Structure 1
Amino acid sequence: MKYSINLFGFMVDCDFKIDGENLGIEIPEENQKALKQYLIRVLPKYGREASIESSLDTLVKLALDAEKSLDGRMVEPKLKLPYEFQPEIKEKLIEAAALQEMSATQLLIRIIENKYQEIMGE
């Protein structure tokens, strides 16, 4: 079953696998890469060292540790984009983001990361 979950303030598409009474979650490789990039970008805000060389396992452990020290959940850093969109493009971006239960900035970052990974072959 396909489902989106919020991991450390980042929406990740995944597959739930049920085998009898056992529940497992599988995250496609491209979504794992996007989660890794997100954690590298966000963890320093919470006082955790993260770099491109860090494994996803290490980053997830750091994120778990960071969230345990918070009263709430980690969140995507807010950024003000230094340019303006045409009104109809901005409306489409906001509508698409709302359908995925994320901010327009988060959606734009995800689109850029996906395109970067596609071009760079990561």
Structure 2
Amino acid sequence: MINLFGNNVDCILNVEDENLIITFSDENQKALKAYLKRVLQRYGHNSEAQQLSFQNLLEKGIEVEKNIGGNMSEPKIKLPYEFAPEVKEKLIEASAIQGLSATQLLIKLIESKYQSVINNH
């Protein structure tokens, strides 16, 4: 797992002939692409981010991080509903273990479920 643009991503790292090669599963690549589209909007790339290829999104992410001198971060979203206290505790615990905010974990879970539903239809 590596942190790219403020997002933890599972990947395989290989070194070949002194070159680092990062390989993502299709699911993780789709998740990173969706994340970059969402986060780049926060940094002034509103409509542009939605039309970019994965490679161009990565390039924009690198450009933004160079300009801000650190990692990008996802906008904080106040969820429009309440959780039962025990569910909220589980969510916070699970997100802490994964090094994510509770909102990031929820988004990741929703994206994963969305992909599985879409793939089954």
Normalised by the length of structure 2, the TM-score is: 0.89
| 2:101 aligned residue | 103
2:52 matched residue in structure 1: 54
Q: Secondary structure at the match of 2:11?
A: strand
RMSD: 1.7
Aligned mates of 1:40, 1:120 — CA distance in 2:
19
For 1:83, the equivalent position in structure 2 comes to 81
Unaligned runs of 5+ in 1: none
Task: List gaps (5 residues or longer) in structure 2.
Answer: none
Map of 1:45 onto structure 2: 42
Closer, same or farther: CA 66–19 of 1 in aligned 2, 3 Å? closer
Candidates 97, 100, 120, aligned match of 2:118: 120
Q: What amino acid maps onto 2:13 in structure 1? A: F
Q: From 2, 8, 11, give the equivalent of 1:11.
A: 8
Percent of pairs identical after alignment?
56
Cα separation, 2, equivalents of 1:17 and 1:61: 21
Residues 72-120 of structure 1, C-alpha deviations (whole Å, 9 max, x = no match): 2100110000111111111111111011011111000100011111112
Displacement of 1:22 in angstroms is: 5.2
Equivalent residue pairs, number: 118
